[in-house]
Structure 1
Amino acid sequence: MKQKNGFVRWIQSGKVNRNLCIFTFMLVPLLLLIVFTYIPFGKMVQFSFYDMKYIGARKFVGWKNYIDVFTRDDCFRALKISIYYIFASFIQLGLALYFATILSFKTKCSGLFKGFMFFPYLVCGIAVGFVFKFFYTRGFVLDTVLQWCGFQLDNLPYWLKDTRINNISVAATSIWRYMGQQMVLFIGAIMSVDSSLYEAAEIDGANGWAKFRYVILPSIKTIVVLNMILSITGSLSVFEPPYVITGGNFGTGSYFVIMNKLAHENQKVGLASAMAIVLLVLIMIATAIQKWVERYFFGVGDQEAIRTVRKREKRLAMEAKGGTH
């Protein structure tokens, strides 16, 4: 009886009740995460070592699928196409930061401009793809506007068929769609900067560029790195623009488009699984590099930037060396 009463008191204690409450609320989300994320991921890793279809016999091929990712023309070309979207992401980042810096201060009709620039992000990606598909089609919107400006239709390229320019055309759609999202994040960060820093900069006679370089940029470095990570990882996994606008034809098939084609049209499930694993590794490497760049140039939290520390150490070493002579 004493043991039973002791167990009741123990189970009713505040610490146990708190832990039971935490466990109860975490149980269902953890089960869903395991069942729908970790188990499928484990199966995908397993499938990547097999030559298999969705239905039928499986043949173990070891690392062959991973080798094919880097040796097959379609897979490796898709990796190279990601470079266009990565380059576009930096243009997108620069434009978003530029407009955010302007619109964060008193500007006439700034609210209207913010709305117009953020609106493309609210539009469904499939709809954006169809808009630009007709925008770039021969003789349609873009060609018509350029003819108004004096260009001859015969001298204009095929924006979606010419392999010299079609990937640039498709990548430009990502700039139009996602720039507003990044701009809003930048505006929120810039508006949170202490106003006394701007006042001090004005007293010191700083111009607009100096305020941006020495006040705004250091204060929003975390958001800059966050947007950079989102942009580059998104560039590696882009799918909707090339899939909807060109269907991956004319050399515009991105990594995800080729992966989708191999998995669902060609039934090469093992190779597509290996491509997914390679993409995950590439995203992790890109994120690690960006975090290192953040630590090197900006610092993390209260820690100084590695570059600043090294410059100070080098200066002190030179001063100490000069003092010994």
Structure 2
Amino acid sequence: MRRLMPWLYLLPALALLVAFTYIPVAGMVGYSFTDWDGLSDDPAFVGLANYAQLFTRPELFGVFFVSLYYLAAAAVQIALALYFAFVLSFKVRLRSLFKGILFFPYLINGVAVSFVFLYFFRPHGTLDALLALVGAHPDKLWLGDPDLVNGSLSAVSVWRFLGLNFVLFLGAIQAVPGELYEAAELDGANRWQVFRHIVAPGIRPIVGLSVILAVSGSLSVFEIPFVMTGGAGESKTFVIQTVKLAFQFGKFGLASAAAVVLLIVVLLVTWVQRRLVPDERTDLT
């Protein structure tokens, strides 16, 4: 009975996980081999035809490369979050205020953030007004120019999600034993040496987690470009295209195949990252 007790406690969580994760995923994989339109009761089996379409039609798979903008933005976001977390881990004036300012954007709903930045990027809007104050008059369509739209949208994601990584890094840095900082101070180490030899090794697992979240988030961007541009033109992401295939064009089989490809890519990237940067576990026994 004692051996069964842990499983009895886990049973509700496992039941929810199976019911709302694994069963839907299995259904999605099954539909990806059919031409289901979302309404018919008897979809026809088409084998790998949906996957063949994804990889042979550039307009379908090509939108995957839009994620590179968000991946670059995620790298900037992680670097900034790590910098601010390290600086604010020391005694700095108004430290609590700066913490709140950095974390506040993450608390705002993504749709609200998108509407705010619609006014920020519109012609003669907030951004143009700020640039005019410093004598710059770019007169550009930040959300209408194909060369600028993805950079503008990915910058919004940096602003919004910086706070999440900041809190993760700050908590990890503060968990580093204080005696290590004291020993480094006695040895005359500067801030860069403290970061390189004490902080960086101590927060490595959290950095790895942030990288995984950044990659998966970059590949599955949806709400910001969908609200701000509707996924029009060059701003269409892979997830927006998948949603439109299913609910606008009624191609649920093809959309399911796209979702399966996205899932495989995320799992593969996560596996590679875990192989390249494994967790360092210290044996205390």
The TM tier, using the shorter chain, reads over 0.9
Per-residue CA deviation, residues 219-250 of structure 1 (Å, 9 max, x unaligned), is 11111111111111111111111101111012
Per-residue CA deviation, residues 118-174 of structure 1 (Å, 9 max, x unaligned), is 00000001111111111111111111111122122xx43211111111101001111
For residues 83 and 60 of structure 2, the distance between their equivalents in structure 1, rounded to whole angstroms, comes to 36
Q: Is 2:90 aligned against 1:105?
A: yes
Corresponding residue to 1:173 among 156, 159, 173: 156
Aligned twin of 1:114: 99
For residues 228 and 70 of structure 2, the distance between their equivalents in structure 1, rounded to whole angstroms, comes to 15
Q: Is 2:162 aligned against 1:182?
A: no
Aligned twin of 1:300: 280
Aligned twin of 2:124: 139
Correspondences of 1:156-167 after superposition (within 5 Å) = 156-167=139-150
Contact kept in structure 2, 1:74 and 1:258, CA below 8 Å: no
Shift of 1:34: 2.8
The structure having more radius of gyration, on CA atoms, is 1
For residues 207 and 190 of structure 1, the distance between their equivalents in structure 2, rounded to whole angstroms, comes to 16
Q: 1:55 to 1:193 in 2, by over 3 A?
A: same
Does the residue aligned with 1:51 lie in a helix, a strand or coil? Answer: coil
For residues 51 and 208 of structure 2, the distance between their equivalents in structure 1, rounded to whole angstroms, comes to 31
Shift of 1:23: 5.0
Q: Is 2:224 aligned against 1:244?
A: no
Q: 1:293 to 1:131 in 2, by over 3 A?
A: same
Does the residue aligned with 1:248 lie in a helix, a strand or coil? Answer: coil
- Tell me the TM-score normalized by structure 2: 0.94
For residues 23 and 301 of structure 1, the distance between their equivalents in structure 2, rounded to whole angstroms, comes to 26
Aligned twin of 1:125: 110
For residues 59 and 217 of structure 1, the distance between their equivalents in structure 2, rounded to whole angstroms, comes to 54
Per-residue CA deviation, residues 275-305 of structure 1 (Å, 9 max, x unaligned), is 111011101111112112213xxx62138xx
For residues 31 and 69 of structure 2, the distance between their equivalents in structure 1, rounded to whole angstroms, comes to 30
For residues 81 and 257 of structure 1, the distance between their equivalents in structure 2, rounded to whole angstroms, comes to 11
Shift of 1:24: 4.5
Corresponding residue to 1:92 among 45, 62, 77: 77
Does the residue aligned with 1:50 lie in a helix, a strand or coil? Answer: coil
Gaps of 5+ in 1: 1-15, 304-325
The structure showing larger relative contact order (alpha-carbon pairs under 8 Å, at least 6 residues apart) is 2
Q: 1:193 to 1:171 in 2, by over 3 A?
A: same
Q: Is 2:48 aligned against 1:48?
A: no
For residues 49 and 115 of structure 2, the distance between their equivalents in structure 1, rounded to whole angstroms, comes to 37
Q: 1:27 to 1:198 in 2, by over 3 A?
A: closer
For residues 35 and 160 of structure 1, the distance between their equivalents in structure 2, rounded to whole angstroms, comes to 40
- Give the letter aligned to residue 88 of structure 1: A
Shift of 1:98: 0.2
Contact kept in structure 1, 2:123 and 2:139, CA below 8 Å: no
Per-residue CA deviation, residues 51-77 of structure 1 (Å, 9 max, x unaligned), is 120112522221111122222233222
Aligned twin of 1:210: 193
> Alignment RMSD, CA only?
1.7
Shift of 1:43: 1.3
**How many residue pairs align between the two structures?**
282
Contact kept in structure 1, 2:242 and 2:258, CA below 8 Å: yes
Corresponding residue to 2:266 among 279, 283, 289: 283
- Give the letter aligned to residue 251 of structure 1: E
Gaps of 5+ in 2: none
- Give the letter aligned to residue 269 of structure 1: F
For residues 212 and 29 of structure 1, the distance between their equivalents in structure 2, rounded to whole angstroms, comes to 39
28-37 vs 65-74, greater mean Cα deviation: 28-37
Contact kept in structure 2, 1:45 and 1:277, CA below 8 Å: yes
Contact kept in structure 2, 1:162 and 1:250, CA below 8 Å: no
Aligned twin of 1:37: 21
For residues 218 and 4 of structure 2, the distance between their equivalents in structure 1, rounded to whole angstroms, comes to 43
Percent identity over the alignment is 44
- Give the letter aligned to residue 261 of structure 2: V
